[in-house]
């Protein structure tokens, strides 16, 4: 009787020796960071599943999570291409707004006169709800892809320009003096001082802009239609709404949300790699 | 130091009034000779930083003139590498490594990159940071950052170093080490140094001459020649002669500012 129990304690010892420390540490982290959200999510899904059953709601009023997943799986052949189309549209819209936003900011910031005369109008333009001008965009660029990208660009553009401009104009006074003392030219100051100083602001602008560009693409699809091609998420949503395919509507909404989160994480990753060596926002995790 | 040194900085009846009508400097006259280590000592608001910045061309006199190496500060900055400025905070570019920060002044002037790198490494060696070429400013302590800042100032081989309370934010131990290192560099590189401080001990320890200033309006209240021998080591601080100079400087500082209150 005594032999096996000794062996058991031995193996237990071995187990605790080799694995307890790192395991308990990572488990602690898991407990602190992930456990709460996971429990909250599970409860939320459970309530969602229970409410339509208890109140006897029709699936076209409030579909259960299982209905939504079912709809996503059965209509996957529609959902997946729609997601792909929206990804391309919002990605192009985002890239265009990033490039043009940064370029315009640099041009405006390089001349005080230019900035003073043009920036107020940029703010006025920003206050125009893009949805209100979207039909004009459709008239100019035709139904479909081009208009959708333009609308996505229009929505994503302003956060980039306003953040970048703020960054370019908030250079530390002493650093400015330093460049003055070394007789730096205007463009040396721009490239070696102002643009690097503005990077954190620029990245903040891009983070806002990337999620907005998805909003832009979906709104664009509502308004500009599909122009003969296949439709993206926005188009799927309008069609599903007309057909009262509520479960599929939910699936589209969730797909759009996942898209937004993924896009945001990607841009954050890019921002962190740009700033990793020096900026507080990117080095926090290190300490 | 027995040769006759030429004048390198001349303040002539300099007054500076800022927009909001505060008189930062009033009728300031001072001649600084080549090779001096001159400290501007005074309370805050006495215009000592204003005077220093004028020498660097950062701000112009409202009245009177400032001459540096027989030219206007702005010309000197434009045409030569003779002036370098060290700010109160190290003022390093956080996105550049230590080496790239030191390279900055050379890079802005243009020229041979390989030579620049050799020069940058030489000055970093001088301040004892050769091991940290690839570090970023955020990885360094306050004292090390200030060393990088000094190295950057030295990189372009200036004839004159202007320092605006460079050690003000450092702890006492680091400050004393850097003070000694600065004196070594000053002697090795044969420079003129203008140094702004509000610390009497620092002024006496470092300077060959102290310009004591008083506030509102900022003006020169007296000049003290500090005849302590070089090289000055930590021990100097406990000697009677050092203490005497500290007494004199403190007295003049107090009197200069009392006079203002009476007036």
Q: Do A178 and B56 touch (CB under 8 A)?
A: no
**Residue A99 in tokens:** 């490039």
**In angstroms, rounded to a whole number, what is the distance separating the alpha carbons of residues B160 and B10?**
14
Q: What is the pLDDT of residues A262-281, one digit of tens each?
A: 999 999 999 998 888 777 66
β-pair partners for B67: B10
With pLDDT > 90 as the criterion, what percentage of chain B qualifies?
25
What was the pLDDT predicted at B258? Answer: 56
Mean pLDDT in residue range A85-102:
94
CB contact under 8 A, A192 and B109: no
DSSP string, B25-88: EEEEEEEEETT-EEEEE--TTSSHHHHHHHHTTSS--SEEEEEETTB-HHHHHHH-S-EEEE-S
CA distance B150 to B185: 10
Q: Is the dihedral of CA A174, A179, A183, A188 positive or negative?
A: negative
All structural domains of chain B with their residue ranges:
7-82+159-262, 94-157
ipTM of the complex: 0.87
pLDDT tens, position by position, A24-50: 777 787 778 888 889 999 999 999 999
| pLDDT higher than 50, residue A6 | no
Residue A188 pLDDT level (bands cut at 50, 70, 90): very high
pLDDT of residue B231: 81
Q: What is the mean pLDDT of chain A?
A: 85
Contact between chains at A178 and B87 (C-beta distance less than 8 A):
yes
Q: What is the Cα–Cα distance from A109 to A206, expressed in whole angstroms? A: 18
Environment class of A163 (CB within 10 Å of its CB; exposed 0-12, middle 13-18, buried 19+): buried
* Model confidence pLDDT, tens digit, residues A49-83: 999 888 888 888 889 999 999 999 998 988 999 99
A191 pLDDT tier (thresholds 50, 70, 90): very high
For residue A3, name the pLDDT band (cuts at 50, 70, 90): very low
Q: Looking at residue A170, what DSSP letter applies?
A: -
Distance CA(B161)–CA(B127), nearest Å, equals 15
Q: Looking at residue B13, what is its pLDDT?
A: 86
Tell me the per-residue pLDDT of A113-130, one tens digit each, with 9 for 90 and over: 988 898 888 888 788 888
Contact (CB<8Å) B109/A182:
yes
- Cis peptide, bond prior to residue B217, ω within 30 of zero: yes
Q: Which residues of B77-87 are buried (b: 16+ CB within 10 A; e: fewer)?
A: beebbbbbbbb
- Is residue B239 predicted with pLDDT exceeding 80? yes
Residue B149 CA from chain centroid, whole number: 12
Disruptive mutation site among B85, B89, B108, B155 for chain A (greatest number of A CBs within 10 Å): B108
Query: Measuring CA to CA, which residue among B51, B34, B30, B33 is closest to residue B42?
Result: B51
Yes or no, beta carbons of B108 and A199 under 8 Å apart: no
Within a 10 A sphere around the Cβ of A91, how many other Cβ atoms? 18
Question: With an 8 Å Cβ cutoff, are A188 and B108 in contact?
Answer: yes
Q: Which residues of B115-131 are buried (b: 16+ CB within 10 A; e: fewer)?
A: ebeebbbebbebbebee
Cα torsion at A262, A264, A265, A267 (round to 10°)? 120
- Length of chain B in terms of residues written: 263
Mean pLDDT of B11-33: 85
pLDDT for the residue A4: 47
Residue A13 has pLDDT above 60, yes or no: no
> What is the model's pLDDT at position A21?
53
Interface with A, mutate which of B52, B72, B93 (most A CBs under 10 A) = B93
Q: What is the mean pLDDT of residues B196-212?
A: 91
Q: Which CATH class is domain B7-82+159-262?
A: alpha beta
Q: Which residue in this structure is represented by tokens 């994480």?
A: A265
Of B56, B91, B138, the CB nearest to A278: B138
Closest-CA residue of chain B to A283: B138
Neighbours of B202 (CB within 10 A): 19
CA B146 – CA B88 distance, rounded (Å): 9
Q: What is the average per-residue pLDDT within B216-236?
A: 84
Mean pLDDT of the residues in chain B: 86
- Give the strand pairing for B192-197 and B160-164: parallel
| pLDDT at residue number A251 | 93
| Dihedral sign computed on CA atoms, order B126, B128, B134, B140 | negative
> Which residues of chain A are within 8 Å of residue B89 when distances are taken between CB atoms?
174
Position A141 confidence tier, pLDDT thresholds 50, 70, 90: very high
Q: Decide if B57 touches A, using CB distance below 8 A.
A: yes
- Cα angle A166, A169, A175 (rounded to 5 degrees) comes to 135
Q: Which residue of A has its CA nearest to B110?
A: A184
First to last CA, chain A: 52
CA atoms of B241 and B247, how far apart (whole Å): 10
pLDDT given for residue B4 in this prediction: 62
- What is the total residue count of chain A? 287
Contacts of A188 in chain B (CB under 8 A): 108
Task: Quick: pLDDT tens for B78-108.
Answer: 888 888 999 988 899 999 999 999 999 998 8
Q: What whole-number distance in Å separates Cα of residue B119 and Cα of residue B110?
A: 14
Contacts of B137 in chain A (CB under 8 A): 278
Spatial distance between the Cα atoms of A214 and A227, rounded to a whole number of angstroms = 19
| pLDDT of residue B42 exceeding 90 | no
C-beta of residue A225 within 8 angstroms of C-beta of residue A232: no
Count of helices and strands (H, E) across chain B: 8, 9
**Pair of tokens at residue A74:** 């059965």
Q: Which residues of A touch B58 (CB under 8 A)?
A: 177, 180-181
Interface of A with B in 187-206 (CB under 8 A): 188, 192-193, 196, 199
Residue B37: per-residue pLDDT: 93
């Amino acid at each position: 009787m005594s032999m096996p129990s000794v062996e058991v304690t031995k193996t237990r010892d071995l187990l605790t020796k080799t694995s307890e420390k790192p395991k308990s540490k990572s488990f602690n982290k898991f407990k602190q960071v992930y456990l709460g959200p996971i429990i909250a999510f599970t409860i939320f899904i459970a309530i969602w599943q229970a409410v339509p059953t208890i109140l006897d709601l029709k699936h076209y009023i409030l579909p259960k999570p299982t209905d939504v997943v079912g709809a996503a799986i059965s209509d996957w052949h529609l959902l997946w291409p729609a997601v792909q189309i929206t990804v391309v549209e919002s990605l192009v819209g985002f890239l265009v707004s990033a490039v043009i936003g940064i370029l315009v900011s640099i041009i405006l910031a390089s001349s005080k006169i230019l900035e003073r005369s043009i920036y107020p109008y940029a703010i006025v333009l920003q206050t125009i709800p893009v949805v209100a001008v979207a039909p004009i965009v459709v008239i100019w660029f035709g139904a479909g892809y081009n208009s959708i990208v333009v609308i996505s660009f229009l929505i994503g553009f302003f956060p980039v320009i306003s953040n970048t401009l703020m960054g370019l104009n908030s250079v530390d006074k002493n650093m400015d003096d330093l460049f003055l003392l070394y007789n730096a030219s205007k463009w040396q100051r721009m490239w070696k001082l102002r643009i690097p100083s503005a990077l954190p602001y620029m990245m903040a602008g891009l983070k806002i802009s990337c999620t907005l560009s998805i909003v832009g693409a979906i709104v664009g699809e509502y308004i500009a239609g599909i122009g003969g091609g296949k439709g993206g998420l926005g188009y799927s949503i309008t069609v599903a709404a007309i057909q009262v395919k509520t479960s599929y509507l939910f699936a589209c909404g969730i797909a759009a949300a996942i898209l937004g989160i993924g896009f945001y994480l990607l841009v954050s990753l890019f921002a962190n790699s740009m700033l990793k060596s020096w900026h507080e926002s990117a080095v926090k995790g290190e300490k | 130091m027995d040769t006759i040194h030429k004048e390198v900085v001349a303040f002539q009846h300099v007054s500076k009034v800022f927009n909001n009508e505060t008189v930062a400097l009033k009728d300031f006259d001072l001649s600084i000779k080549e090779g001096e280590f001159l400290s501007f000592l005074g309370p805050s608001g006495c215009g000592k930083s204003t005077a220093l910045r004028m020498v660097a061309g950062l701000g112009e006199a409202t009245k009177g003139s400032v001459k540096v190496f027989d030219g206007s500060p702005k010309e000197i900055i434009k045409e030569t590498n003779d002036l370098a400025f060290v700010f109160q905070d190290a003022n390093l570019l956080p996105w550049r490594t230590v080496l790239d920060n030191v390279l900055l002044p050379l890079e802005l002037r243009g020229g041979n990159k390989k030579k620049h790198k050799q020069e940058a490494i030489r000055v970093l060696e001088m301040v004892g940071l050769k091991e940290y070429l690839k570090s970023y400013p955020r990885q360094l302590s306050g004292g090390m950052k200030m060393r990088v800042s000094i190295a950057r100032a030295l990189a372009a081989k200036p004839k004159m170093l202007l320092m605006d309370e460079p050690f003000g934010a450092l702890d006492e131990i680091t400050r004393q080490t850097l003070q000694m290192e600065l004196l070594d560099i000053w002697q090795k590189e044969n420079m003129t140094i203008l140094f702004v401080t509000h610390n009497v001990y620092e002024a006496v320890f470092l300077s060959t001459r102290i310009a004591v200033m008083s506030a509102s309006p900022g003006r020169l209240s007296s000049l003290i020649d500090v005849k302590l021998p070089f090289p000055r080591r930590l021990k100097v601080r406990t000697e009677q002669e050092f203490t005497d100079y500290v007494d004199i400087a403190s007295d003049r500082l107090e009197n200069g500012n009392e006079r203002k209150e009476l007036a």
